[in-house]
A and B are shown apart, each in its own frame.
Chain A
């Protein structure tokens, strides 16, 4: 057990902090502190490219794909310094945390060479095509289908996709989607599924925004109607899509959790500042709830360090099963605490038509946290069945 860092690691920290400070007080000063997922879109793309050019984008990846082969400790340090610097959330999250690691793990050498460097350089952005109207918690029920067709007009063989995906965050500006679809006609459940990489900029793909209860439209419906992708753009063999998709879900629990905690910390700090300003900080119940929230935030950090240490040793910590439900439940409570601290004024919108300041936005947006990426109910099933070994849920016919 050792929490501290070596002198060499501290030098790495200084290097990272120095670069970030130089950029964010210089040519990227305008995006410092931007907290929304997609505000100032064009500048944020440029920021991703600047990170890529200096090889700070995907430091854990091998050098040949634009990374630094960074050690675990270095990845933790960079995540900490990135958060401390006030740099905005990563626009390339879906590619960096999901598509990239999946291709790195399951892809061919050619796929790695084709897809990883543009992700690391901040040139290609990704979205996730998993959920469908009838495949939410029951993801294996996907119906989007793909058929391999012989090439025509001199082109090679292609997959042709038809179907509908939903809740596709970032689809409105993504260049590529990783899509779970059925490639074996008549198959059911997790058999017969494949994992395809599909270009978004084509006539067979239509993206329609969905307005959320927050008032914003950050996710979408994505329709495939004779959408095409090259025969080679399949990760693993046809029919192995479920295995690959489950792998992707486990990548959601990587170093990025440390960055996510930085935004949670900012939200908690804003609540404490609001409570100090309006006198609620003197209320014993509010004080207890703030302390609970603070403890929860710290526990997330400790747990992330545990997961990362286990992963570096090639083990899956039990913690990995419980992390998602822990943070999602924590943030939902935080949202309620935020409105309780603000009082009635917290219920007045910042602007028409339905725009909100940070804290009411936490109250609203946190309702999705216990739904996406596996609802709390599904998380509990997974914990009970996979981690505790309890009998599986009986299935309907």
Chain B
């Protein structure tokens, strides 16, 4: 039992922080948001190439570094501090675990090898137009059987859909409901019948698109695993992705606490730094209380992911819900502490506030995740922690 990062893990964090401090500042981010696809292509190439981030948690047999979710979440946390606009989350933290959990050996080899090499950007179309969490609102239909299938419908809220070369599409067989009859289709984004329509999103740093599928023909080999059986693999991959989002939110919360603290030290009113007033001090203290609890939640969940524990779904729900709430509260306080400056487009804090809100919405809101936890109370047993 050692609930602290190893020296090697601390080294990964230190080098990621140094790299992002030098290469992912707010000026570069501003430019990236205007670039095609809404991300910094040059930065992404370096992240995948010289740094090997895309393959960090991919098994060595597929050309990755074979490290775990703890290490991946360190990168997510550091990118969260800088609000790095990159396909990292969509490709590395969401698509890759989905392929790993649902794909056949051949699919894993071909797709994960290309992701690890930084040669493939993948986006996931998992929600319908109402944006409810996966499996609750699938609005892409998978028709057909045997070897030939057709996709029809709309996938929405597709993160970095505009920048992806490949799409993983959650689709439902006619006449099924709930966790039955869902499949994951692998579709090239330039396939005939696929239309990608980027949205302007509240969170400018995480672009999303609507993807329409009109009579898109599929071969059997384009389905991950057996048709209609993707739900289990999907849940595991979603939990891993939620943990990565929690880490990202933690990084964002920590960063807005730091800039707010610094601002409160520098800003003079009534002849004193505003950080000497309890009204401000206590607000900053409350932010730190949430940041530290969020750190415990995110780090614990990442450990659980690597130790293949039966606690995965619970730890992911706790981490995602708590870290997103903490990030939102901290970002909201950060605007308030910065005063008028915090309400300007020029200052970066609004980007964090918007990211906080949008991250909370993704893959199940905090309230939705809490309701899932509450469902286990009925039996009473889940109210017994591991000690």
Question: Within 8 Å of chain B (Cβ to Cβ): is A7?
Answer: no
Choose among B6, B378, B387 the residue that contacts A80 (Cβ–Cβ < 8 A): B387
Question: Within 8 Å of chain B (Cβ to Cβ): is A3?
Answer: yes
Chain B residues within 8 Å of A313, by CB: 4
Question: Within 8 Å of chain B (Cβ to Cβ): is A348?
Answer: no
Asked if B276 and A394 sit within 8 Å, CB to CB, the answer is: yes
Report how far A79 CA is from B295 CA in the complex, Å: 23
Question: Within 8 Å of chain B (Cβ to Cβ): is A250?
Answer: no
**Count of interface residues, chain A, beta-carbon cutoff 8 Å:** 66
Choose among B293, B295, B386 the residue that contacts A326 (Cβ–Cβ < 8 A): B293
Min CB distance, B244 to chain A, in Å? 15
Interface of A is mostly: helix
- Contacts A3-B304, A298-B318, A377-B282 given; does A305 touch B275 at CB 8 Å: no
Question: Within 8 Å of chain A (Cβ to Cβ): is B307?
Answer: yes
* Residue interface bits B267-291, CB-to-A below 8 A is 1, else 0: 0000011011010111011101100
Chain B residues within 8 Å of A9, by CB: 1
Within 8 A of A (CB), among B24-63: none
Asked if A290 and B261 sit within 8 Å, CB to CB, the answer is: no
Report how far A233 CA is from B158 CA in the complex, Å: 70
Chain A residues within 8 Å of B147, by CB: none
Asked if A380 and B286 sit within 8 Å, CB to CB, the answer is: yes
Question: Within 8 Å of chain A (Cβ to Cβ): is B380?
Answer: yes
Report how far A326 CA is from B70 CA in the complex, Å: 25
Question: Within 8 Å of chain A (Cβ to Cβ): is B383?
Answer: yes
Min CB distance, A333 to chain B, in Å? 14
- Contacts A3-B304, A290-B374, A295-B322 given; does A390 touch B2 at CB 8 Å: no
Asked if B284 and A384 sit within 8 Å, CB to CB, the answer is: yes
Asked if A391 and B275 sit within 8 Å, CB to CB, the answer is: yes
Question: Within 8 Å of chain B (Cβ to Cβ): is A84?
Answer: yes
Chain B residues within 8 Å of A294, by CB: 373, 377, 383
* Residue interface bits A40-77, CB-to-B below 8 A is 1, else 0: 00000000000000000000000000000000110010
Asked if B3 and A3 sit within 8 Å, CB to CB, the answer is: yes
Min CB distance, A53 to chain B, in Å? 25
Report how far A312 CA is from B4 CA in the complex, Å: 10
Question: Within 8 Å of chain B (Cβ to Cβ): is A354?
Answer: no
Choose among A269, A299, A385 the residue that contacts B384 (Cβ–Cβ < 8 A): A269
Interface of B is mostly: helix
Min CB distance, A57 to chain B, in Å? 19
Asked if A388 and B284 sit within 8 Å, CB to CB, the answer is: yes
* Residue interface bits B153-193, CB-to-A below 8 A is 1, else 0: 00000000000000000000000000000000000000000
Asked if A3 and B276 sit within 8 Å, CB to CB, the answer is: no
Choose among B273, B275, B296, B304 the residue that contacts A303 (Cβ–Cβ < 8 A): B296
Report how far A2 CA is from B2 CA in the complex, Å: 5
Report how far A297 CA is from B257 CA in the complex, Å: 24
> Which residue of A has the minimal Cβ distance to B318?
A295
Report how far A125 CA is from B113 CA in the complex, Å: 65
Asked if A384 and B281 sit within 8 Å, CB to CB, the answer is: yes
Chain A residues within 8 Å of B321, by CB: 295
Report how far A288 CA is from B370 CA in the complex, Å: 6
Report how far A258 CA is from B80 CA in the complex, Å: 31
* Residue interface bits B285-325, CB-to-A below 8 A is 1, else 0: 11011001101110110111011010000100010011000
Chain A residues within 8 Å of B295, by CB: 306, 319
Asked if B3 and A302 sit within 8 Å, CB to CB, the answer is: yes
Chain B residues within 8 Å of A394, by CB: 276
Min CB distance, B387 to chain A, in Å? 4
Report how far A4 CA is from B273 CA in the complex, Å: 46
Asked if B288 and A318 sit within 8 Å, CB to CB, the answer is: yes
Chain A residues within 8 Å of B261, by CB: 388-390
- Contacts A299-B293, A389-B265 given; does A306 touch B4 at CB 8 Å: yes
* Residue interface bits B311-347, CB-to-A below 8 A is 1, else 0: 0001000100110000000000000000000000000
Chain A residues within 8 Å of B377, by CB: 272, 275-276, 281, 287, 290-291, 294
- Contacts A287-B371, A318-B288, A380-B286 given; does A3 touch B303 at CB 8 Å: yes
CB<8 Å pairs between A and B, sample of 19: A1-B5, A1-B303, A3-B303, A5-B1, A76-B1, A261-B387, A287-B374, A294-B383, A298-B318, A305-B3, A318-B292, A322-B292, A377-B282, A380-B281, A383-B289, A388-B257, A390-B261, A391-B265, A393-B278
Residue ranges of A at the interface with B (Cβ–Cβ < 8 Å): 1-5, 9, 72-73, 76, 79-80, 83-84, 258, 261-262, 265, 268-269, 272-273, 275-276, 281, 284, 287-288, 290-292, 294-295, 297-299, 301-303, 305-306, 308-310, 312-313, 318-319, 321-322, 325-326, 377, 379-381, 383-385, 387-394
Residue ranges of B at the interface with A (Cβ–Cβ < 8 Å): 1-6, 9, 70, 257, 261, 264-265, 272-273, 275-276, 278, 280-282, 284-286, 288-289, 292-293, 295-297, 299-300, 302-304, 306-307, 309, 314, 318, 321-322, 367, 370-371, 373-374, 377-378, 380, 383-387
Q: Which 8 A-B pairs have the closest CB atoms?
A: A291-B370, A384-B281, A80-B387, A380-B285, A391-B276, A302-B296, A287-B374, A383-B285
Known pairs A309-B2, A380-B282, A388-B284; list 15 more (Cβ under 8 Å).
A1-B3, A1-B70, A1-B299, A3-B3, A5-B1, A276-B378, A290-B377, A295-B297, A306-B299, A310-B4, A312-B2, A319-B296, A322-B289, A380-B278, A391-B275
